[in-house]
Structure formats: C-alpha cells, structure tokens
C-alpha cells in the first residue's frame, strides 16, 4: 500500500510547537513524579532549522525511508541520550540521588507487600491479561472510517515478563482488525541489546497470529533502544520516529503521527511533527500522555498512549499511587478528553519495577471508531 506523504517546510506553527518542549525543570518535580524526570536534549540550530521531509513509503512493506537525513539525525540524538552523553553533570548527580532514593522506597514497599502477604496476590493479578473492547465516539470522523477497528498493545516489557508473549498470542489469535498499533516499552532493560532483539522477535511473532488489513505501526518508549527499529521494520512493522503516514480511505484519509518518547527522550522534532501533519482524521501515537496538550493544540483527533500502566499499583477504585506522567491525573488510564481531542491511555500488558499489579489489570485494547451523530430535535 502506498501513502501520499509530502515534504513539509517549517512554519510559524511548527516553530511555536517546538517551544512546547519547555516543560518544568526536573528540580521542581516531587518524589512521586520520579519518572517524570527524564533528561531533555537542548535545542540547537540543526534541530531548529530541520524540515520534516517525507516521501512515498510502502506501509506494509518494507522499511526503506527516502528521507534518510531525518531518520539519521533522529537516530544520532536518540543514541546520544541513551548513552547518557547529553545530560549535564548536575543532571547526572540529581538523577543518581533520585534513583537511589527510589530504589530504597521500592524495596521498602516490596517488603511491606510481602509482610502483608499481598505480594503473591499482586503477581497473580499481573498475569491476568484482559481484553478491553469499546467504541470510541468521535466528532468529525469520516464515514469511510466509521467502524474502523484498532488493536492497541503497549508496555509489554518482554524481558521481565516471562510467559507474556504466549498470553498475548492466545488473546489476539485469529482476530481481524484494520490497524495494529504498538506504543512502546517492548523491553525493560534499556542497557541490554539482546533484550531489544528478543522484543523485536516477540512482536513479529505476535502480529503473525492475527490479521491487520492496514498493517502495524509502532513508536518507541523510554525503555526501548534505537536498535529495535531495524528488525521491526525488516518484518513490516513501521516505526514512526517523529513522522507521519497517511492511509487513503476513499475521498478521505487517515493520518497517523508517531512521536518518539517525549517523557525521557524529548526533542523539539516531536512537536514539529505534530504541527506538520496534513489534513485528515488525525491519530497520534505516543508512548506517554505527556504530549496530549500539544497534540490538542494542533487539532489532532485521537491520542493513543501507554507508559503509565494505569498506575500498576492503585488504591481501590483505580486511583493511582503514582501517575507516572506530567499531565492531569485523568490522563493516566482509560478514556479521556483534552479540548476537542479524544484520548486513551492503555494500562499495558506487562509490568515494570515490580511484577505486581493491584486494581490496574493488564490489557490489550480493541478500539472501534464510531461517528458521533448529533441528535436532531
């Protein structure tokens, strides 16, 4: 399938979008926002002046990006941040202090669960993978997309969740969807190249068990490495790194914009991609909810993300102890709205840090897009 993707020069809107990367400094975050404290790559002239240029790409096939300059620039920036070369010495010291404090708190909490004899129950909860089927009512959805079905899978953390692939395959076996989207954190240990290779193999094996008429798209999360991109694209899973693709649907088109993780690997290129997306029904794939306000500002229609695990450990009623994102707590799980944009934060399929869940069961979401029909009086 060919996609009509046109070169887009930087505009006043995209310059304005690049400023949205100026989130509050790390030192203002509280301990409970520990996960919000990812390092940011400072802007530079090369980034600010870069144009997002795209060419026709075979979505179902087979990697091969014509705009190698964009992809190579993104890859250099991402790898530099993965290797810890970008943060200042002060940022590194602050991060070390936070990590030590968090590890101490995590051990204390884990010991408390064991003493209360809740740890084993939490492990049982974490493997009770659920499917969530629902209709998403959307104002402005074209008729050609009414009934369009999306499988949304995220936060698998395959290397620390043994047996998850088998559970996922059993849940999606012989399903039929229009599009499958993955929104990051396919591995847990970002320092391990083998974890990337194993996670890529798991995703490829997973999509072979069910039908996706328009293929599969993915974005990276804060636990993922850039070296997962090549094996995924070699097997037909298109990774979007601050890029967009269009899916023609009759006289209309579906526009899917995918951002690199903005929680930990934030750059102005992500916000420029939001501004550059063409007209159509616009879906945004991001690992975390952190770019929701920016996407709403640029009039995107639907925002799909994960990262929060729905809190993973929540109070009765589903109230997260740690929201794990910068935005409003309502963005941490389930359906939400931001301006005219609808959003969904998937609770994720796996676990991280501790192999337990409470009041936040793991899930795979099957989302059916439906036109919002105004009632005639």
The pTM for the full model equals 0.81
Cβ–Cβ under 8 Å, residues 279 and 259? no
Give the CA angle between residues 293, 298, 301 to the nearest 5°: 80
pLDDT single digits (tens) 300-313: 999 999 999 999 99
Going 120 to 121 to 126 to 127, the CA torsion angle's sign is positive
Distance CA 8, CA 298 (A): 15
Picking from 1, 4, 52, 7, the residue whose alpha carbon sits closest to that of residue 280 is 4
Q: HSE (CB half, 13 Å, CA atoms) of 205? A: 14
What is the pLDDT at residue 305? 97
- Say which residue, 49 or 87, is predicted with more confidence: 87
Do residues 314 and 325 touch, judged by C-beta distance below 8 A?
A: no
Pairwise pLDDT comparison (160 vs 96), residue with the higher score:
160
Q: Over the stretch 100-109, which tens digit does the pLDDT of each residue have? A: 777 787 788 8
pLDDT value of residue 15: 36
DSSP three-state, residue 53: coil
Average pLDDT, the chain: 81
Q: Give the domain ranges of the chain.
A: 1-11+26-377
In the predicted structure, residue 99 carries a pLDDT above the cut 90: no
Q: How many CB atoms lie within 10 A of CB 75?
A: 15
- 123 touches 315 (CB < 8 A): no
* CATH assignment of 1-11+26-377, among 3.40.50.170, 3.60.21.10, 3.40.50.1110, 3.40.630.10: 3.60.21.10
Q: Which residues pair with 216 in a beta bridge?
A: 180, 237
Q: How far apart are CA 39 and CA 263, in angstroms?
A: 9
Residues 127-153 have a mean pLDDT of: 96
**pLDDT at residue number 94:** 63
Chain center to CA of 181 = 9
- CA distance from start to end of the chain: 43
Q: Is 181 helix (H, G, I), strand (E, B) or coil?
A: strand
What is the three-class DSSP state of 178?
Answer: coil
Residue 27: predicted pLDDT? 29
Residue 256: predicted pLDDT: 97
Where do runs of H (alpha helix) occur along the chain?
12-18, 45-48, 68-82, 89-115, 119-126, 164-172, 193-207, 229-234, 268-276, 292-297
Could you tell me if 368 and 147 are in contact, meaning their C-beta atoms sit under 8 angstroms apart? Answer: yes
The encoded tokens of residue 85 equal 């070369």
Q: Which pLDDT tens digit goes with each residue over 178-237?
A: 999 999 999 999 889 999 999 999 999 999 999 999 999 999 999 999 999 999 999 999
E strand or H helix at 284, and its extent? strand 281-285
């Amino acid at each position: 399938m060919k996609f009509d993707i046109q070169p887009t020069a930087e505009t006043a809107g995209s310059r304005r979008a690049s400023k949205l990367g100026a989130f509050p400094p790390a030192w203002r975050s509280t301990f409970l926002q520990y996960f919000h404290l990812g390092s940011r790559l400072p802007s530079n002239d090369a980034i600010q002046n870069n144009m997002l240029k795209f060419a026709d790409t075979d979505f179902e096939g087979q990697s091969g990006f014509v705009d190698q300059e964009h992809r190579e620039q993104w890859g250099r920036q991402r790898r530099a941040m993965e290797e810890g070369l970008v943060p200042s010495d002060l940022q590194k010291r602050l991060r070390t202090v936070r990590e030590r404090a968090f590890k101490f708190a995590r051990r204390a909490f884990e010991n408390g669960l064991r003493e209360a004899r809740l740890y084993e129950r939490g492990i049982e909860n974490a493997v009770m993978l659920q499917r969530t089927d629902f209709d998403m009512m959307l104002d402005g959805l074209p008729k050609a997309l009414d009934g369009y079905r999306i499988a949304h899978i995220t936060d698998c953390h395959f290397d620390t969740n043994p047996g998850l692939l088998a559970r996922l395959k059993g849940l999606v076996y012989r399903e039929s969807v229009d599009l499958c989207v993955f929104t990051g954190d396919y591995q847990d240990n970002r320092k391990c190249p083998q974890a990337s290779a194993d996670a890529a193999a798991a995703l490829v094996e997973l999509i072979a068990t069910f039908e996706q008429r328009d293929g599969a798209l993915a974005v990276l999360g804060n636990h993922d490495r850039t070296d997962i991109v090549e094996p995924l694209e070699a097997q037909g899973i298109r990774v979007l790194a601050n890029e967009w693709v269009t899916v023609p649907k009759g006289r209309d088109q579906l526009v899917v914009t995918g951002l690199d993780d903005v929680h930990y690997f934030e750059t102005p290129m992500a916000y420029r991609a939001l501004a550059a997306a063409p007209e159509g029904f616009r879906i945004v794939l991001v690992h975390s909810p952190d770019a929701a306000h920016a996407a709403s500002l640029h009039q995107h229609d639907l925002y799909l993300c994960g990262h929060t695990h729905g809190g993973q450990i929540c109070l009765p009623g589903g109230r997260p102890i740690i929201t794990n994102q910068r935005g409003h707590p309502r963005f941490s799980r389930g359906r939400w709205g931001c301006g005219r944009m609808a959003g969904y934060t998937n609770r994720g399929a796996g676990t991280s840090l501790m192999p337990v869940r409470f009041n936040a069961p793991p899930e795979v979401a099957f989302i059916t897009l439906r036109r919002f029909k105004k009632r005639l009086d």
